[in-house]
Structure 1
Amino acid sequence: MNLKVTKGALALLGAISAIHGAAAQDVVKIGHSGPLSGPQAFSGKDNENGARLAIEELNAKPITVGGKKIKFELLSEDDQGDPKAGVQVAQKFIDGGVKYVAGPYNSGVAIPASRAYNDAGVLIATVATNPKITQQGYKGLFRVNASDTQLGSKMALYAAQELKFKTVAVIDDRTAFGQGVAEEFKKQAKASGMAVAGHEFTNDKAFDFTAILTKLKAKKVEAIFFGGYAPQGAPMARQMKQLGINAKLLGGDTICTAEMGKLGGDAVGDNVLCSQGGAILDKAAAGPRFKAAFKKRYNRDADVYAASYYDATMMYAQAMQKANSTDPAKVGPVIAAGSHKGVAGTYAFDAKGDMKESPVTIFTFKNGAPAPLTSY
């Protein structure tokens, strides 16, 4: 009889302990909003993988906040790179209790979606580059990347100072990103003494640029800066080659991707140069470890912003520990006032939510893959 009582008591204690253990664990949802379908899906998936790697590492050695172990959960949604869909994703996250978001990736999505997130008290960390994003005055918004101002202007400075170009042209796809980065390139090009011989327009669904390129060929430009994405940049490079245009094709971070080489084939090589936020990963202290961990987990190399999404997720976790809370109203000010040393950079922000220091790396292409030239 006594033995039975002892067993029963132990079982009861075990049940109480299990309930207590469950109660002592908080689940924190991290939302990822990005293009997971369509021509930019390769970028969306890469970004999602960066955030997921961080979450898996955090859950493997659970952090404790406010005396409770934290379990992170990634919720990833396809915003299709479309503003309307992005706002719908934002509402879905808000309704689902998501308080932290990595993304959106596209500036055209980030601008309207950030309003919804701000009104709901959700923190967002975005790599979207249009300067308007941080000019909205939202306290819970952080840009974990260089802005168009830095990406466009540094590419123009490189063209003027290193390549010694005198005459350039601009094409933009009229998206919030493409237009923004093209205007910043054009502004700095003129300030650096280069002549901008033409500014042509296309869209992010186009694949035939023959008419635009033929017009620019007649102007004998030394470089064409394209404000847009790899699915358009690659056929543009192919058509430049077919038309015998020897000008360099320049661009921002969205053509600094292996997809550009994959789609462009032998038309994409040292004739293409692009600017990307962040330092050269191989030279960053934690870069090689991150690259190896990513390759082991996904059996592929990290692309443009996987490290930035990894860093953003880790930044959230570190700030929760410092704030000793998972409440975004308490975590946001810690991020705003602090500094997080990540893989791709050190994340310290100005009053608008832009990084105080964001190095920009200039890349070219070798064997179909982006190859870094210099950071400044």
Structure 2
Amino acid sequence: MQVSTKLIPLAIAMAFAGSASAQQVVKIGHVGPVSGPNSHLGKDNENAARMAIDELNAKGFTINGQKVKLQLLAEDDASDPKQGTAVAQKLVDAKVNGIVGHLNSGTSVPASKIYHDAGLVQISPATTATQYTKQGFAGAFRVVANDAKLGGTLGKYAVETLKVKNIAIIDDRTTYGQGVAAEFAKGAKGPGVRIVGKEFTSATATDYTAILTSIRAKKPDLVFFGGMDSVGGPMLKQMKALGINARFMGGDGVCTEALGRLAGDAVGEDKVICAEAGGVKGAQEKAMTDFRARFKQKTGVEVQLYAPYVYDSVMVMAAAMQNAKSADPAKYLPELKKIKYEGVTGTIQFDQFGDIQNGALTLYTYKGGKRTRMDVIR
């Protein structure tokens, strides 16, 4: 059988094109809790990662002049450290080019060792435990302020602005909860200020009667809770039922749109003060407002908490790849260390430890069951 010589170059070209296409896929892993009590936050994060990937692909993302396809590999850690390390290894085995995640410090910190050993870059949009970047892993970054700043600022605010004297502290025994509570205690110093009680619960508990009854006897002006909104909301309900009229304060874990729904009328008016790691004001607010509108249009739901930081994490990783002209973590890591990127959450630059420089905090309260911004501070 005679084969036309005209078909041979075409066949070779098609085979080469298929091979080139296969080589032009850049895999970005995302990990968050899309099941369990924090699933509303994990889904928020995953939606934002997918939105960033879709936008980059739609624009024809290129590296070193070559068009590439970005692929999101999303995994669920269920806020569980064991599951977190298991999916971290799964992503390593899948040969991803970088990781965005995790949400919880308790999963992000142990997973970071696995990514480090594999030579991968990890950008966390939500991990606030100081331990995360203190490990000395070259590829570990975060785009939010850490617990030292968040907890310490809240402690100072409680004493200097709210003028509280008697403070009770509760944490959920997670890496995040204990860390932010400890930093809050360090910041809550002043004449006549006393920590009248320290209690703890768990991230899955539903009954806080015993610890709250103990706290009620000590008549605190303020209760600080280190943990997530899935516990903070029911805890506020039980505080109200027990007649505890103290102010309630927490870090970014409780500082969500969902807290008002979870707490019901127990959230009160100006009773809850919390802080989110991050925040913009002034000229940067338009970019954030535009992002929130695009997110709602794409997903059909409002931003819960960390979505803008996930979006920026993907974008800053992609920008570093473009600057390095490579998706190889060893090659784009140096570019990430020196990057200055204008994102929807503000200017992203990292210090020598991988922490965001001059990280912002946003203070919120709740009015009419809705989270209401008070101020952005740096």
TM-score normalized by the length of structure 1: 0.93
CA 1:368–1:70 in 2, change beyond 3 Å: closer, same or farther? farther
How many Å separate the matches in 1 of 2:32 and 2:66?
31
Counterpart in 2 of 1:57? 55
* Cα offset, 1:185, TM superposition: 0.2
> Aligned to 1:75, which of 70, 73, 76?
73
Match of 1:20 among 17, 28, 41: 17
Instruction: Figure out how many residues of one structure are paired with residues of the other and give that number.
Output: 371
* Contact 2:233-2:260 within 8 A present in 1 as well: yes
What are the superposed Cα offsets for residues 332-354 of structure 1, whole Å, 9 maximum, x if unpaired?
A: 11111221111112211111111
For 1:45 and 1:11, how far apart are their aligned partners in 2? 49
- Aligned-partner Cα distance in 2 for 1:193–1:26: 63
Deviation string 1:238-292 (CA, Å, 9 cap, x unpaired) is: 0111111111110000111122122111111321111111114795241111011
Structure-to-structure mapping, 1:87-236, within 5 angstroms: 87-126=85-124, 127-190=126-189, 194-236=193-235
Indicate how the Cα distance of structure 1 residues 118 and 136 shifts in structure 2: closer, same or farther if over 3 A, else same. same
In the alignment, the residues of structure 2 paired with residue 193 and residue 292 of structure 1 have an alpha-carbon distance, to the nearest angstrom, of 46
> What SS class does the counterpart of residue 76 from structure 1 fall into?
strand
Give the letter aligned to residue 228 of structure 2.
Y
Counterpart check, 1:272 vs 2:269:
no
Query: 1: CA distance between counterparts of 2:186 and 2:236?
Result: 24
In the aligned structure 1, how far is the partner of 2:286 from the partner of 2:15?
A: 41
Offset, 1:85: 0.7
**Which structure 2 residue ranges, 5 or more long, are not aligned?**
none
Tell me, in whole angstroms, the C-alpha distance in 2 between the residues paired with 1:249 and 1:113.
32
Q: CA deviation at 1:229?
A: 0.8
For 1:221 and 1:46, locate their aligned partners in 2 and report how far apart those are by CA, in whole Å: 35
Q: Which moved more, 1:274-283 or 1:333-342?
A: 274-283
Shift of the alpha carbon at 1:199? Answer: 0.9
What residue ranges of structure 1 are gaps of 5+ in the alignment?
none
Q: Return the offset for 1:192.
A: 7.6
Alignment-derived partner of residue 293 in structure 2: 292
CA distance in 2, matches of 1:315, 1:14: 39
Write the distance in 1 (CA, Å) between the matches of 2:118 and 2:18.
31
Q: Distance in 2 between matches of 1:191 and 1:63?
A: 53
Residue aligned with 2:206, SS: coil
**Aligned-pair CA distance for 1:183:** 0.2
CA distance 1:338–1:191, change in 2 (3 Å): farther
Q: Deviations over 1:117-169 (max 9, x none)?
A: 00001110112111111110000000111111111111112212221212211
User: Which sits farther off after the overlay, 280-289 or 256-265?
Assistant: 280-289
